[in-house]
Homo-oligomer: A and B are copies of this chain.
Amino acid sequence: MTVEGTRRRITPEREAQLYEAVLDLLREVGYDALTMDAVATRTHASKATLYRQWGSKPELVVKALNAQRRVRPAEINTGTLRGDLRALVMVGDDQAMAEHSALMRSLFTATHNNPDLMTAFRELVIGPTTAEFDALLERAVARGEVPADRPALRYIPHMAIGALAMEELVTGELPTREFLLGYIDAVILPAVGL
């Protein structure tokens, strides 16, 4: 405890290992049945370490999910909004996208009965994603591709995340990269006037 108390940060490798274990548990038992005890046991960490590093179960789980996302929109810069959106879709294959969608949906589902998780999900997943989209859209505005006052600009997260969430309900199929590329051309670009 005193040794751990003096070490403020765990290594990135250890962090990645912990996040993997959390996502495995999430897949196996779901959010409600996932306990800090189970995470501690599986990763041979003390609960004190888990709570000191992450504060709470919702934060730990949401940060584990975030770590799985391998791309940030602001890091993509192809020179056009269409190119940037398509590049976002083409990171990772259909299987990685389906797996991430399934975890997102599982967690979104759990927000219904867990207000703390809802707060963490909004602050740590939706907020940064929206900010990252905004960075990409600001570049499109700066290039003169899209007028700054185009009303659809504030609804990009609704369109993009909503489409991912709805595809299985509407068609019974998981969203694929092909579906998202089609949706960008059919909906998002026309909505912003491109």
Contacts and interface: CB of A to CB of B under 8 A. Distances in A.
Interface string A156-194: 011101110111011010000000001101110011110
- Copies in the assembly, this chain: 2
A41 interface: no
Interface stretch (A8-16, A105-113, A135-143): A105-113
Interface residues on A, range: 35 or more
Chain A interface mostly:
helix
A137 to B, nearest CB: 14
A169 B109 contact: no
A76 interface: no
A122 interface: yes
A121 interface: yes
Contact of A166 (B158, B170, B183): B158
A24 to B, nearest CB: 18
Interface of A: 30, 105-106, 108-109, 112-113, 121-122, 126, 130, 151-152, 154-155, 157-159, 161-163, 165-167, 169-170, 172, 182-183, 185-187, 190-193
